[in-house]
Amino acid sequence: MVHYLDHAASTPARPAAIEAMARQLVHGYGNPTGAHRLARAANRVLDESRDIIADALGATPGEVIFTAGGTEADNLAILGTLEARGGIALCSAIEHHAVLDPVIHTGGVIVGVGSDGRIDTEQLGRVLTPEVSVVSVMLANNETGIVQPLGEVADIVRRRAPQALLHTDAVQALPWVDVADQCRVADLISISAHKFGGPQGVGALVARAGVSLVPRLRGGGQERDRRSGTQNVAGIAAMASAAAETVAERQAQVVRVGALRDRLVDGLTGRLTGVVESGNRQDKTANIAHLCFEGVESEALLFLLEKEDIMASAAASCSSGAMEPSHVLAAMGFSRSLAGGSLRLSLGYSTTEDDIEAALAVIPPAVRRLRERG
Protein backbone atom coordinates (compact mmCIF):
# COMPACT_ATOMS: atom_id res chain seq x y z
CA MET A 1 0.00 0.00 0.00
CA VAL A 2 1.29 3.41 -0.98
CA HIS A 3 1.59 6.07 1.70
CA TYR A 4 1.12 9.26 -0.25
CA LEU A 5 2.67 12.20 1.57
CA ASP A 6 3.11 14.53 -1.38
CA HIS A 7 -0.17 16.48 -1.48
CA ALA A 8 1.67 19.78 -2.08
CA ALA A 9 2.88 18.35 -5.40
CA SER A 10 -0.51 17.00 -6.46
CA THR A 11 -3.52 15.60 -4.64
CA PRO A 12 -5.51 12.45 -5.37
CA ALA A 13 -8.74 13.45 -7.13
CA ARG A 14 -11.82 13.54 -4.94
CA PRO A 15 -14.49 10.97 -5.94
CA ALA A 16 -17.06 13.74 -6.44
CA ALA A 17 -14.66 15.54 -8.79
CA ILE A 18 -14.07 12.37 -10.80
CA GLU A 19 -17.83 11.88 -11.07
CA ALA A 20 -18.39 15.46 -12.19
CA MET A 21 -15.64 15.11 -14.79
CA ALA A 22 -16.93 11.79 -16.13
CA ARG A 23 -20.50 13.11 -16.31
CA GLN A 24 -19.30 16.03 -18.40
CA LEU A 25 -17.14 13.94 -20.71
CA VAL A 26 -19.89 11.38 -21.32
CA HIS A 27 -22.99 13.58 -21.46
CA GLY A 28 -21.85 17.20 -21.55
CA TYR A 29 -19.46 17.36 -24.45
CA GLY A 30 -21.04 20.35 -26.16
CA ASN A 31 -18.88 23.39 -26.85
CA PRO A 32 -20.05 26.07 -24.40
CA THR A 33 -19.89 28.80 -27.05
CA GLY A 34 -22.32 26.96 -29.34
CA ALA A 35 -26.06 27.58 -29.75
CA HIS A 36 -27.76 24.18 -29.52
CA ARG A 37 -29.08 22.37 -26.48
CA LEU A 38 -25.89 20.47 -25.64
CA ALA A 39 -23.82 23.63 -26.01
CA ARG A 40 -26.17 25.56 -23.75
CA ALA A 41 -26.00 22.77 -21.17
CA ALA A 42 -22.19 22.96 -21.18
CA ASN A 43 -22.40 26.71 -20.79
CA ARG A 44 -24.70 26.28 -17.80
CA VAL A 45 -22.15 23.97 -16.17
CA LEU A 46 -19.50 26.63 -16.74
CA ASP A 47 -21.74 29.25 -15.11
CA GLU A 48 -22.47 27.04 -12.12
CA SER A 49 -18.78 26.19 -11.72
CA ARG A 50 -17.84 29.85 -11.97
CA ASP A 51 -20.30 30.69 -9.18
CA ILE A 52 -18.78 28.02 -6.92
CA ILE A 53 -15.18 29.11 -7.59
CA ALA A 54 -16.09 32.78 -7.11
CA ASP A 55 -17.69 31.93 -3.79
CA ALA A 56 -14.65 29.94 -2.61
CA LEU A 57 -12.35 32.85 -3.47
CA GLY A 58 -14.49 35.77 -2.27
CA ALA A 59 -14.94 37.08 -5.81
CA THR A 60 -17.81 37.74 -8.18
CA PRO A 61 -18.37 35.28 -11.05
CA GLY A 62 -17.34 37.88 -13.65
CA GLU A 63 -13.95 38.19 -11.94
CA VAL A 64 -13.07 34.50 -12.47
CA ILE A 65 -10.94 33.59 -15.50
CA PHE A 66 -10.55 29.84 -16.08
CA THR A 67 -7.02 28.80 -17.06
CA ALA A 68 -5.05 25.64 -17.69
CA GLY A 69 -3.59 25.63 -14.17
CA GLY A 70 -1.67 27.66 -11.65
CA THR A 71 1.30 28.44 -13.88
CA GLU A 72 -0.90 30.01 -16.52
CA ALA A 73 -2.84 31.99 -13.91
CA ASP A 74 0.42 33.33 -12.41
CA ASN A 75 1.84 34.23 -15.83
CA LEU A 76 -1.37 35.97 -16.87
CA ALA A 77 -1.41 37.98 -13.64
CA ILE A 78 2.19 39.20 -13.96
CA LEU A 79 2.72 39.47 -17.71
CA GLY A 80 -0.87 40.54 -18.47
CA THR A 81 -0.57 43.39 -15.97
CA LEU A 82 2.87 44.48 -17.18
CA GLU A 83 1.62 44.61 -20.74
CA ALA A 84 -1.49 46.55 -19.75
CA ARG A 85 0.18 49.06 -17.44
CA GLY A 86 3.89 49.08 -18.22
CA GLY A 87 6.33 49.38 -15.31
CA ILE A 88 8.01 46.48 -13.53
CA ALA A 89 6.95 43.58 -11.33
CA LEU A 90 8.08 42.80 -7.80
CA CYS A 91 7.84 39.52 -5.91
CA SER A 92 9.24 37.74 -2.88
CA ALA A 93 12.30 35.49 -3.17
CA ILE A 94 10.30 32.40 -2.17
CA GLU A 95 7.68 32.49 -4.92
CA HIS A 96 7.05 29.45 -7.07
CA HIS A 97 8.92 29.61 -10.40
CA ALA A 98 5.59 30.34 -12.12
CA VAL A 99 5.83 33.80 -10.52
CA LEU A 100 9.57 34.15 -9.99
CA ASP A 101 10.57 33.45 -13.59
CA PRO A 102 8.21 35.95 -15.28
CA VAL A 103 9.32 38.60 -12.76
CA ILE A 104 13.03 37.91 -13.35
CA HIS A 105 12.55 37.58 -17.11
CA THR A 106 11.01 41.06 -17.27
CA GLY A 107 13.71 42.68 -15.13
CA GLY A 108 11.62 42.90 -11.96
CA VAL A 109 12.59 43.30 -8.30
CA ILE A 110 12.98 40.45 -5.78
CA VAL A 111 12.39 41.05 -2.07
CA GLY A 112 14.06 38.81 0.52
CA VAL A 113 12.56 36.87 3.41
CA GLY A 114 13.68 36.50 7.03
CA SER A 115 15.00 33.27 8.52
CA ASP A 116 11.36 32.61 9.48
CA GLY A 117 10.45 32.39 5.78
CA ARG A 118 8.20 35.46 5.88
CA ILE A 119 8.69 38.36 3.51
CA ASP A 120 10.94 41.15 4.76
CA THR A 121 8.31 43.88 4.97
CA GLU A 122 10.87 46.61 5.75
CA GLN A 123 12.76 45.83 2.57
CA LEU A 124 9.46 45.68 0.68
CA GLY A 125 8.63 49.23 1.81
CA ARG A 126 12.10 50.44 0.79
CA VAL A 127 12.12 49.02 -2.74
CA LEU A 128 8.55 49.88 -3.75
CA THR A 129 8.77 52.73 -6.25
CA PRO A 130 6.23 54.39 -8.57
CA GLU A 131 7.68 52.21 -11.33
CA VAL A 132 6.27 49.01 -9.78
CA SER A 133 2.94 48.09 -11.39
CA VAL A 134 2.39 44.64 -9.90
CA VAL A 135 3.47 43.06 -6.60
CA SER A 136 3.22 39.29 -6.19
CA VAL A 137 3.39 37.67 -2.76
CA MET A 138 2.13 34.14 -2.31
CA LEU A 139 -0.40 33.19 0.36
CA ALA A 140 1.22 29.88 1.39
CA ASN A 141 4.62 28.60 0.32
CA ASN A 142 4.73 25.27 -1.49
CA GLU A 143 7.91 24.01 0.20
CA THR A 144 7.66 25.20 3.79
CA GLY A 145 3.90 25.85 4.06
CA ILE A 146 4.65 29.24 5.60
CA VAL A 147 1.71 31.63 5.26
CA GLN A 148 2.69 35.15 4.29
CA PRO A 149 1.31 38.26 6.05
CA LEU A 150 -0.76 39.36 3.07
CA GLY A 151 -2.73 42.03 4.97
CA GLU A 152 0.50 43.72 6.08
CA VAL A 153 1.92 43.45 2.55
CA ALA A 154 -1.25 45.04 1.13
CA ASP A 155 -1.01 47.95 3.60
CA ILE A 156 2.58 48.64 2.59
CA VAL A 157 1.78 48.41 -1.13
CA ARG A 158 -1.22 50.76 -0.82
CA ARG A 159 0.90 53.24 1.14
CA ARG A 160 4.13 53.12 -0.84
CA ALA A 161 2.96 52.23 -4.35
CA PRO A 162 -0.77 52.92 -4.60
CA GLN A 163 -0.59 52.50 -8.37
CA ALA A 164 0.49 48.84 -8.07
CA LEU A 165 -1.80 45.82 -8.22
CA LEU A 166 -1.38 43.08 -5.63
CA HIS A 167 -1.30 39.50 -6.91
CA THR A 168 -1.27 36.47 -4.65
CA ASP A 169 -0.49 32.90 -5.64
CA ALA A 170 -2.99 31.00 -3.47
CA VAL A 171 -2.32 27.69 -5.24
CA GLN A 172 -1.29 25.88 -2.04
CA ALA A 173 -3.73 27.61 0.27
CA LEU A 174 -7.34 26.65 -0.47
CA PRO A 175 -7.60 23.52 1.73
CA TRP A 176 -5.94 25.21 4.72
CA VAL A 177 -6.59 28.95 4.66
CA ASP A 178 -9.80 30.93 4.28
CA VAL A 179 -8.78 32.32 0.91
CA ALA A 180 -11.98 34.35 0.47
CA ASP A 181 -11.17 36.21 3.67
CA GLN A 182 -7.37 36.46 3.47
CA CYS A 183 -7.33 37.52 -0.20
CA ARG A 184 -9.87 40.33 0.12
CA VAL A 185 -6.87 42.66 -0.10
CA ALA A 186 -5.62 41.17 -3.39
CA ASP A 187 -6.47 42.39 -6.91
CA LEU A 188 -5.40 39.12 -8.52
CA ILE A 189 -5.59 35.57 -7.08
CA SER A 190 -4.31 32.31 -8.64
CA ILE A 191 -5.50 28.79 -7.84
CA SER A 192 -4.91 25.32 -9.31
CA ALA A 193 -7.37 22.41 -9.12
CA HIS A 194 -4.87 19.60 -8.59
CA LYS A 195 -3.83 21.02 -5.23
CA PHE A 196 -7.30 20.41 -3.74
CA GLY A 197 -8.64 17.18 -5.20
CA GLY A 198 -9.36 18.34 -8.75
CA PRO A 199 -7.58 17.38 -11.97
CA GLN A 200 -4.20 18.61 -13.21
CA GLY A 201 -4.18 21.21 -15.97
CA VAL A 202 -7.04 23.40 -14.78
CA GLY A 203 -7.05 26.48 -12.57
CA ALA A 204 -8.31 30.01 -12.31
CA LEU A 205 -7.23 33.59 -11.93
CA VAL A 206 -9.41 36.13 -10.16
CA ALA A 207 -8.97 39.61 -11.63
CA ARG A 208 -11.04 42.13 -9.70
CA ALA A 209 -13.57 44.26 -11.56
CA GLY A 210 -11.76 47.18 -13.18
CA VAL A 211 -8.42 45.35 -13.42
CA SER A 212 -7.50 45.08 -17.06
CA LEU A 213 -5.09 42.46 -18.34
CA VAL A 214 -3.66 41.99 -21.79
CA PRO A 215 -4.46 38.36 -22.64
CA ARG A 216 -1.66 35.86 -23.21
CA LEU A 217 -3.83 33.75 -25.51
CA ARG A 218 -5.81 35.31 -28.34
CA GLY A 219 -8.44 33.62 -30.43
CA GLY A 220 -12.13 32.98 -29.85
CA GLY A 221 -12.44 35.60 -27.10
CA GLN A 222 -13.62 33.21 -24.37
CA GLU A 223 -13.50 34.26 -20.71
CA ARG A 224 -14.59 37.77 -21.69
CA ASP A 225 -11.63 38.19 -24.00
CA ARG A 226 -9.16 37.58 -21.20
CA ARG A 227 -8.27 33.97 -22.11
CA SER A 228 -9.16 32.54 -25.50
CA GLY A 229 -9.58 28.81 -26.07
CA THR A 230 -12.49 26.42 -25.55
CA GLN A 231 -12.86 25.97 -21.83
CA ASN A 232 -11.98 22.63 -20.27
CA VAL A 233 -15.58 22.18 -19.12
CA ALA A 234 -15.09 18.70 -17.63
CA GLY A 235 -11.98 19.83 -15.73
CA ILE A 236 -13.67 23.01 -14.58
CA ALA A 237 -16.74 21.10 -13.34
CA ALA A 238 -14.40 18.77 -11.42
CA MET A 239 -12.46 21.73 -10.00
CA ALA A 240 -15.69 23.36 -8.79
CA SER A 241 -16.85 20.14 -7.18
CA ALA A 242 -13.49 19.70 -5.43
CA ALA A 243 -13.45 23.34 -4.31
CA ALA A 244 -16.94 23.10 -2.82
CA GLU A 245 -16.01 19.99 -0.80
CA THR A 246 -12.65 21.43 0.20
CA VAL A 247 -14.15 24.64 1.55
CA ALA A 248 -17.00 22.81 3.30
CA GLU A 249 -14.64 20.51 5.21
CA ARG A 250 -11.75 22.93 5.65
CA GLN A 251 -12.15 23.69 9.33
CA ALA A 252 -12.41 20.04 10.30
CA GLN A 253 -9.49 19.02 8.08
CA VAL A 254 -7.25 21.76 9.45
CA VAL A 255 -7.74 20.32 12.93
CA ARG A 256 -7.48 16.65 11.90
CA VAL A 257 -4.54 17.00 9.50
CA GLY A 258 -2.77 19.53 11.74
CA ALA A 259 -2.77 16.96 14.56
CA LEU A 260 -1.38 14.27 12.23
CA ARG A 261 1.32 16.64 10.97
CA ASP A 262 2.32 17.56 14.52
CA ARG A 263 2.50 13.89 15.49
CA LEU A 264 4.72 13.27 12.48
CA VAL A 265 7.11 16.17 13.09
CA ASP A 266 7.30 15.64 16.86
CA GLY A 267 7.80 11.93 16.29
CA LEU A 268 10.70 12.50 13.90
CA THR A 269 12.43 15.19 15.97
CA GLY A 270 11.97 12.99 19.07
CA ARG A 271 13.52 9.92 17.43
CA LEU A 272 16.42 11.62 15.63
CA THR A 273 19.06 14.24 16.40
CA GLY A 274 20.29 16.77 13.84
CA VAL A 275 16.82 17.62 12.50
CA VAL A 276 15.92 21.23 11.71
CA GLU A 277 12.34 22.27 11.02
CA SER A 278 12.09 25.20 8.60
CA GLY A 279 10.41 28.29 10.06
CA ASN A 280 7.87 28.34 12.88
CA ARG A 281 5.16 25.75 12.90
CA GLN A 282 2.46 28.22 13.90
CA ASP A 283 3.11 30.16 10.66
CA LYS A 284 2.52 27.10 8.48
CA THR A 285 -0.44 25.54 6.77
CA ALA A 286 -1.66 22.50 8.73
CA ASN A 287 -0.50 19.95 6.16
CA ILE A 288 3.22 20.56 5.73
CA ALA A 289 6.07 18.92 7.59
CA HIS A 290 9.29 20.34 6.22
CA LEU A 291 12.52 19.16 7.80
CA CYS A 292 16.23 19.20 7.05
CA PHE A 293 18.35 16.24 8.20
CA GLU A 294 22.01 16.98 8.87
CA GLY A 295 24.42 14.67 7.10
CA VAL A 296 21.82 13.29 4.68
CA GLU A 297 21.18 13.84 0.98
CA SER A 298 17.52 14.24 0.06
CA GLU A 299 17.80 12.19 -3.07
CA ALA A 300 19.20 9.16 -1.23
CA LEU A 301 16.58 9.51 1.50
CA LEU A 302 13.72 9.73 -1.02
CA PHE A 303 15.04 6.60 -2.70
CA LEU A 304 14.93 4.65 0.57
CA LEU A 305 11.47 6.01 1.40
CA GLU A 306 10.07 5.08 -1.98
CA LYS A 307 11.35 1.54 -1.56
CA GLU A 308 9.13 1.40 1.55
CA ASP A 309 6.16 2.93 -0.33
CA ILE A 310 6.43 6.37 1.26
CA MET A 311 5.93 9.03 -1.43
CA ALA A 312 7.43 12.38 -0.46
CA SER A 313 9.59 15.07 -2.00
CA ALA A 314 12.64 17.14 -1.26
CA ALA A 315 11.46 20.57 -2.28
CA ALA A 316 9.42 21.82 -5.17
CA SER A 317 9.08 19.03 -7.67
CA CYS A 318 10.59 19.96 -10.99
CA SER A 319 10.03 18.71 -14.48
CA SER A 320 13.56 17.45 -15.11
CA GLY A 321 13.45 15.28 -12.00
CA ALA A 322 16.87 16.64 -11.07
CA MET A 323 17.33 17.96 -7.54
CA GLU A 324 18.20 21.64 -7.63
CA PRO A 325 19.06 23.31 -4.36
CA SER A 326 15.92 24.97 -3.01
CA HIS A 327 15.76 28.72 -3.67
CA VAL A 328 13.30 28.94 -0.79
CA LEU A 329 15.71 27.48 1.77
CA ALA A 330 18.58 29.56 0.34
CA ALA A 331 16.47 32.72 0.78
CA MET A 332 15.82 31.71 4.41
CA GLY A 333 19.58 31.45 5.02
CA PHE A 334 19.92 27.66 5.15
CA SER A 335 23.41 26.44 4.28
CA ARG A 336 23.70 24.47 1.04
CA SER A 337 24.57 21.30 2.93
CA LEU A 338 21.64 21.51 5.35
CA ALA A 339 19.25 22.43 2.51
CA GLY A 340 20.58 19.39 0.64
CA GLY A 341 19.02 17.18 3.31
CA SER A 342 15.51 18.60 3.13
CA LEU A 343 12.37 16.51 3.13
CA ARG A 344 8.82 17.74 2.54
CA LEU A 345 6.05 15.50 3.80
CA SER A 346 2.78 17.07 2.73
CA LEU A 347 -0.48 15.70 4.05
CA GLY A 348 -3.99 16.14 2.72
CA TYR A 349 -7.66 15.27 2.99
CA SER A 350 -7.00 11.57 2.33
CA THR A 351 -4.07 11.16 4.76
CA THR A 352 -4.68 8.60 7.50
CA GLU A 353 -3.07 7.72 10.85
CA ASP A 354 -1.68 4.68 9.07
CA ASP A 355 0.28 6.90 6.69
CA ILE A 356 1.83 8.75 9.63
CA GLU A 357 2.71 5.55 11.50
CA ALA A 358 4.34 4.17 8.35
CA ALA A 359 6.41 7.34 7.91
CA LEU A 360 7.45 7.26 11.57
CA ALA A 361 8.51 3.63 11.24
CA VAL A 362 10.49 4.11 8.01
CA ILE A 363 12.14 7.53 8.14
CA PRO A 364 14.30 7.31 11.33
CA PRO A 365 16.09 4.06 10.36
CA ALA A 366 16.55 5.35 6.80
CA VAL A 367 18.18 8.56 8.08
CA ARG A 368 20.42 6.58 10.47
CA ARG A 369 21.45 4.23 7.69
CA LEU A 370 22.45 7.11 5.41
CA ARG A 371 24.38 8.80 8.20
CA GLU A 372 26.27 5.58 8.99
CA ARG A 373 27.14 5.26 5.33
CA GLY A 374 28.53 8.81 5.51
> Which residues are known to be catalytic?
318
Instruction: Please give the order of strands across the beta sheet that includes 275-277.
Output: 275-277, 288-293, 342-346
Determine the Cα–Cα distance for residues 287 and 154; give it in Å rounded to an integer: 26
The one segment of 67-75, 219-227, 230-238, 318-326 that binds ligand PLP by CB under 6 A? 67-75
- When the beta carbons of 10 and 228 are compared against ligand PLP, the nearer one is 10
Single residue of 192, 222, 326, 351 touching ligand PLP by CB under 6 A:
192
Determine the Cα–Cα distance for residues 147 and 94; give it in Å rounded to an integer: 11
- When the beta carbons of 43 and 74 are compared against ligand PLP, the nearer one is 74
Single residue of 138, 164, 314, 315 touching ligand PLP by CB under 6 A:
138
Task: State the first-to-last Cα distance of the chain, in angstroms, to the nearest integer.
Answer: 30
Determine the Cα–Cα distance for residues 108 and 105; give it in Å rounded to an integer: 7
Determine the Cα–Cα distance for residues 66 and 232; give it in Å rounded to an integer: 8
Single residue of 92, 133, 172, 222 touching ligand PLP by CB under 6 A:
172
Single residue of 96, 227, 250, 284 touching ligand PLP by CB under 6 A:
96
Contacts with ligand PLP, 193-222, as mask; x by CB under 6 A: ----------x-------------------
Single residue of 24, 71, 81, 326 touching ligand PLP by CB under 6 A:
71
Size of the site for ligand PLP (CB under 6 A): 13
Answer yes or no whether residue 148 interacts with ligand PLP by CB under 6 A: no
The region, left, alpha or beta by phi > 0 then psi within -120 to 50, assigned to residue 302 is alpha
Report the nearest approach of ligand PLP to the CB of residue 132 (Å).
21
The one segment of 64-72, 128-136, 152-160, 296-304 that binds ligand PLP by CB under 6 A? 64-72
What are the residues binding ligand PLP (CB under 6 A)?
69-71, 74, 96, 98, 138, 142, 169, 171-172, 192, 203
